[in-house]
Amino acid sequence: MSDFLPINSKSLRTDTMVDCDLYLLVKTSADSRYILYCRGDAVFENDKKEMLLERNISRLFIKRDDQQKYYEYLESNFQNIISDSRISTDEKTRIVQEVATYLVKDLFIDPKTGIVKRTKAFAYNMVDYILQDCHAAHSLLKIAVHEHYTYTHSVNVAAVGTLFGRNIGLEDNDLKELCSGILMHDVGKTRISTDILNKNGKLTKEEFEIIKEHPELGVEVLKEAGCTLEYEYIITLQHHENYDGTGYPYGLRKYEIHLCGKIARIIDVYDALTSKRPYCGAIRPFKALVEMKEKMLNCFDKQLFIDFVHFLGPYDPREEQRKFDKLKNGISDTNSP
């Protein structure tokens, strides 16, 4: 494994200090070498940026041990990055996902007050990016990381949930609260053994009962970290509640479940099915929707699920639109749970 990691040179802002050394990869016929380009404690000046642009150098390198410092730099400069027209939407999206994943990973390692506040602030910035860039939706869905680690899952669900929320007409402030809540929705799993969370194979009845504690544990974690906002509590508590009352932890049903809880439930299942998990491979988006319709429709607000199928249709070019239309009509023809 290399001691160096590539970074996007366009993500670096002029007249800032990155706080980690930046390197160029120089290749010759004899060998390849990493050459120091800018020290971490030196200002990244405009002439250094211009030289990279003139020579069409899109990648610099950092030492692997400096990865966290680089993500902290991206986090603090995020608003400038997403407003930079020279950075493509796909490049911005990769930065969004990398920083969000780093933050959620930190949250799960040590869910204290500071990281909860930073995660919430980043969620608001993430929504700003989605609202500002008309191509962000397609890019976020295309670049999603389909590995079912708890933190990548949280980022995927937050991204798709926010896009879907915008699609059904949620106001900007509600989208920000939704995104923040979903990023933190599984934080209760920090108090459950990784042997259970990462088990290959079916959980025992006793293990599943332990898993079912994570929504309430999540609220405990958020309260201890000083989180006081309603949406984070609602989404954390309700993302496993089913429309017919068969979910957990409280067995809520229909209108007892908040709209954001209903959205989180749908996206949580969808991302789990379309991601590679320790005990099961990923399935394609359309097949996941079919499985949700045929085996789990009682879990969801039916009209909201129809809206979700309608929302996803244009983003899956591998499937014919008529298949999505047929699925929507099939859901409409079923009896309400």
132 and 201: one domain? Answer: yes
Q: Is residue 46 part of a domain?
A: yes
Cα distances from 99 to residues 81, 95, 135, 185, in angstroms, run 12, 6, 19, 18
User: Domain ends where: 66, 89, 120?
Assistant: 66
84 and 62: one domain? Answer: no
> Is residue 9 within 8 Å of 58, Cβ to Cβ?
yes
> Is residue 287 within 8 Å of 295, Cβ to Cβ?
no
7 vs 95: CA distance, rounded Å: 10
Tell me the longest C-alpha to C-alpha distance in the chain.
70
> What is the model's pTM?
0.87
Amino acid 315: pLDDT: 62
300 and 272: one domain? Answer: yes
User: Domain ends where: 37, 66, 95?
Assistant: 66
For residue 31, count CB atoms less than 10 angstroms from its CB and return exposed for 0-12, middle for 13-18, buried for 19 or more: exposed
175 and 261: one domain? Answer: yes
78: amino acid identity, one letter:
F
Amino acid 210: pLDDT: 95
Full domain range(s) for residue 256: 77-332
For residue 30 the two structure tokens come to 């004899």
Q: Is residue 72 part of a domain?
A: no
Amino acid 144: pLDDT: 66
Amino acid 28: pLDDT: 80
Amino acid 177: pLDDT: 93
105 and 237: one domain? Answer: yes
- Average pLDDT along the chain, 337 residues, taken 10 residues at a time: 86 92 89 92 92 90 93 91 87 89 88 86 92 86 64 87 95 94 92 86 89 95 82 94 96 96 96 76 84 94 94 67 69 62
98 and 187: one domain? Answer: yes
219 and 111: one domain? Answer: yes
How many separate domains does the chain show? 2
Using CA of residue 297, residue 300, residue 303, residue 309, what is the dihedral sign? negative
